């Protein structure tokens, strides 16, 4: 029997109790993994754990084995154990695909009108709104994000995304193509079938919504793997989807590790499309597995090393605020992080002074404290990786202007860090760090900055700050990036596409563009008078 996670939040910003099953969600039921193993979910803000874990006793009638009732205190060098979730395997992915195929052929896909799909998605939205505080607290608990950020940002963004695609569900249509009077020709946009989706740990609830909403709206059934580090909100939303009335097998969530569940999804012969968000390294593996199996359609949203360009005439007060958000929000664990901050030489000194003051004022600490802006990094692995980049910057000759050290003595907290005196060949300038580490670089003119900004293997996002509209638009058009902000950073909308150039990915998520990823176009010719 899967673990039931029960937790009482008693914090300044949220008080409430949660209790839900943390099994795999397959065919409308929460079940143990085939091997009966579990994965511990850790709190990244705690490094000296002491938590009571209860495992219920249960007889598995198929294997005649018992899980025994045990009460014990778990301790870990890496973080406090929040709970455990069922661990999926290749066999569990097979079972999820079986359920998804059955649903697609009977209760979903072309057998379920778009209007009904839209109503179910809208019902899910209503339930998420009812449980918004709970979802925000769960997101903060296992990801380390500040509760204020998850409640004001992540949860509303996830809800808005699902609501947006609920509106599209009954508007998926082809068109009539005029050819000749003797022929009637038209196209249909049909669902692909069973689609696989793999989401990351840095924005688990938002990524869950971005993936399932367009897939379900267009009539596909889903087998999704959340990150093993942050699975709680995905599992909780499955409970809400079941309550909303989604037929069994339409949405399946298999928690597990990338080399097992992720690989099984990417290489599965009966999954005909896979969407992945994560690192470029793993994205290559997903694409390779998709190619070596059944040449499944692939959407990839990968890494970034985004330039944030600040011209002499920028509004400094506003620019400093946006630049701080661009690099330090979500602990810097963002694919769109504005980690390369280019400042024109005329305002460089003043910008650096103000930006330093703003960055120094960031409150780092407990995600449930009311004034926290920056929580812990997600894991010891990520913490070590970021600190490794900071050491690399020092060794290669860059100068730490701010931060560069651990914050506090517990948890995976890192001080907001700013490097100066860099050169383009340094790892901290070239590679995605995925942490609260930025570089501030001086530039001369527009030609100089476009060259520097585009000197990267990535092309996910960029920003331009200037009061000159012509300069803003001209520069934005020259940047090789899938999204460019002007006089702001990081804002989004469900109706606007998201994706990257170069090694930042393939395809687009969000907006009408996302529907392309989840439909096949069929052309139909009807003979009205052609005789042989």
pLDDT at 54 over 70: no
Check if the beta carbon of residue 204 is closer than 8 Å to that of residue 225: no
- DSSP letter for 269, please: T
Which residue bears the tokens 């690399």? 392
pLDDT at 182 over 60: yes
Contacts for 352 with CB less than 8 Å, ≥ 6 apart: 343, 401, 420, 440
**For all residues of the chain together, what is the average pLDDT?**
93
Instruction: State if pTM tops 0.85.
Output: yes
Weakest-pLDDT range from 3-17, 69-83, 364-378? 69-83
Calculate mean pLDDT across residues 162-183.
Answer: 96
Q: pLDDT, tens digit, for every residue of 309-359?
A: 999 999 999 999 999 999 999 999 999 999 999 999 999 999 999 999 999
Calculate mean pLDDT across residues 263-279.
Answer: 98
- pLDDT bucket at 216, cuts 50 / 70 / 90: very high
CA-closest candidate to residue 167, choices 100, 235, 120: 120
- pLDDT bucket at 88, cuts 50 / 70 / 90: very high
Q: At what angle do helices 132-143 and 155-168 cross, to 10 degrees?
A: 120
pLDDT at 285 over 50: yes
Three-state DSSP class for residue 95: helix
- What percentage of the chain reaches a pLDDT higher than 90? 92
pLDDT at 193 over 50: yes
Pairing of strands 519-527, 183-191: antiparallel
Calculate mean pLDDT across residues 471-478.
Answer: 98
Catalytic residue, candidates 87, 134, 139, 301: 301
Give the per-residue pLDDT at 301. 97
Query: What stretch of H or E contains 301?
Result: strand 297-301
Q: pLDDT, tens digit, for every residue of 417-446?
A: 999 999 999 999 999 999 999 999 999 999
Strand segments, DSSP code E, in 75-211 are 80-86, 176-177, 183-191, 194-198
Secondary structure percentages of the chain, helix, strand, coil, to 5: 35, 25, 40
Higher pLDDT, 236 or 79: 236
Higher pLDDT, 523 or 60: 523
Give the per-residue pLDDT at 247. 98
301 is catalytic: yes
Give the per-residue pLDDT at 64. 39
Weakest-pLDDT range from 79-83, 328-332, 486-490? 79-83
Check if the beta carbon of residue 104 is closer than 8 Å to that of residue 221: yes
Weakest-pLDDT range from 20-24, 44-48, 319-323, 452-456? 44-48
Calculate mean pLDDT across residues 191-195.
Answer: 98
- Measured in Å, how far apart are the chain's first and last C-alpha atoms? 66
Give the per-residue pLDDT at 79. 62
Calculate mean pLDDT across residues 280-296.
Answer: 96
Catalytic residue, candidates 112, 335, 432, 509: 335
Q: Is the dihedral of CA 389, 392, 396, 401 positive or negative?
A: positive
CA distance 395 to 400: 11
Q: At what angle do helices 446-453 and 469-478 cross, to 10 degrees?
A: 30
Give the per-residue pLDDT at 1. 78
pLDDT at 380 over 50: yes
Give the per-residue pLDDT at 2. 81
- pLDDT bucket at 163, cuts 50 / 70 / 90: very high
Q: pLDDT, tens digit, for every residue of 18-31?
A: 999 999 999 999 99
Instruction: At 485, list the tokens.
Output: 């902000």
């Amino acid at each position: 029997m899967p673990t039931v996670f029960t937790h009482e939040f008693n914090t300044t910003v949220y008080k409430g109790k949660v209790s839900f099953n943390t099994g795999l969600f397959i065919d409308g039921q929460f079940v143990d993994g085939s091997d009966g193993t579990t994965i511990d979910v850790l709190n990244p803000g705690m490094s000296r754990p002491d938590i009571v874990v209860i495992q219920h006793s249960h007889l598995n009638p198929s294997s005649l084995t018992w899980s025994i009732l045990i009460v014990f205190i778990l301790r870990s060098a890496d973080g406090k154990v929040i709970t455990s979730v069922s661990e999926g395997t290749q066999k569990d992915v097979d079972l999820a695909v079986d359920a998804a195929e059955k649903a697609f052929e009977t209760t979903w896909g072309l057998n379920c009108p778009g209007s009904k799909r839209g109503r179910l998605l809208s019902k899910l939205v209503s339930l998420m709104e009812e449980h918004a505080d709970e979802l925000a607290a769960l997101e903060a608990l296992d990801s380390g994000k500040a509760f204020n950020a998850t409640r004001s940002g992540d949860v509303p963004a996830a809800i808005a995304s699902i609501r947006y695609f609920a509106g599209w569900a009954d508007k998926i249509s082809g068109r009539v193509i005029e050819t000749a009077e003797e022929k009637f020709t038209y196209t249909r946009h049909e669902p692909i079938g069973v689609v696989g989706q793999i989401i990351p740990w840095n924005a688990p609830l938002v990524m869950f919504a971005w993936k399932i909403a367009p897939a379900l709206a267009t009539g596909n059934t889903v087998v999704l793997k959340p990150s093993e580090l942050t699975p709680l909100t995905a599992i909780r939303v499955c409970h809400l989807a079941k309550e909303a009335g989604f037929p069994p097998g339409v949405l399946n969530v298999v928690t597990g590790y990338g080399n097992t569940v992720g690989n099984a999804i990417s290489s599965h012969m009966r999954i005909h499309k896979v969407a992945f968000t994560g690192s470029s390294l793993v994205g290559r593996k997903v694409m390779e597995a998709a190619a070596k199996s059944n040449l499944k359609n692939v959407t990839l949203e990968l890494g970034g090393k985004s330039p944030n360009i600040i011209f002499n005439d920028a509004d400094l007060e506003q620019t400093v605020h946006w630049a701080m958000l661009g690099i330090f929000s979500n602990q810097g664990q963002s694919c769109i992080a504005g980690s390369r901050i280019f400042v024109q030489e005329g305002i460089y000194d003043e910008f650096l002074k103000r930006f330093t003051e703003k960055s120094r004022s960031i409150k780092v600490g407990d995600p449930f404290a009311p004034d926290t802006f920056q929580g812990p990094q997600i894991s010891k692995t990520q913490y070590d990786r970021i600190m490794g980049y900071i050491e690399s910057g020092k060794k290669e000759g860059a100068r730490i202007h701010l931060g560069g050290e651990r914050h506090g003595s517990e948890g995976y907290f890192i001080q907001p860090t700013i490097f100066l005196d860099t050169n383009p060949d340094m790892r901290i300038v070239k590679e995605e760090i995925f942490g609260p580490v930025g570089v501030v670089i001086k530039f001369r003119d527009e030609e100089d900055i476009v060259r520097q900004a585009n000197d990267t293997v990535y092309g996910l996002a960029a920003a331009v700050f200037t009061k000159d509209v012509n300069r803003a638009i001209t520069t934005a058009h020259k940047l090789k990036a899938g999204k460019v902000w002007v006089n702001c950073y990081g804002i989004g909308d469900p109706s606007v596409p998201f994706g990257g150039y170069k090694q930042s990915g393939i395809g687009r998520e969000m907006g009408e563009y996302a529907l392309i990823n989840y439909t096949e176009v069929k052309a139909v010719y009807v003979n009205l008078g052609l005789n042989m």
